[in-house]
Amino acid sequence: MLSGKQKAYLRSLAQNERAIFQIGKDGLSDTLIKTLNDALKARELVKVSVLKTGPVEDMKETAFDLAMHTKSEVVQVIGHTIVLYKKGKEPKILLP
């Protein structure tokens, strides 16, 4: 579980990053989950954009589903963007 200070730090790192994944009308597919999991292992911090054609009814629920399937933590949900964090075996991001 991330503390408020850690989430704030991760949000500041994510601010300059571009979303590397987009969720469209197909929603959460197995392929998306696998690719997202691989990206989390490589990068630890990933930004996901949900298109207007995607599952935008409840962004927090979509973020929770992504986090649950990838065993990561939701750092932020803002607008149509979700930021996820998963600590690596050899952490690249040192949390405060």
Residue-wise pLDDT tens digits, 15-49: 999 999 998 888 888 999 999 999 999 999 999 99
| Count of alpha carbons within 13 angstroms of residue 16, beta-carbon side | 3
pLDDT of residue 91: 85
Contacts for 96 with CB less than 8 Å, ≥ 6 apart: 5, 6, 9
Residue-wise pLDDT tens digits, 42-78: 999 999 999 887 666 788 998 999 999 999 999 999 9
pLDDT at 90 exceeding the cut of 90? no
pTM above 0.75? yes
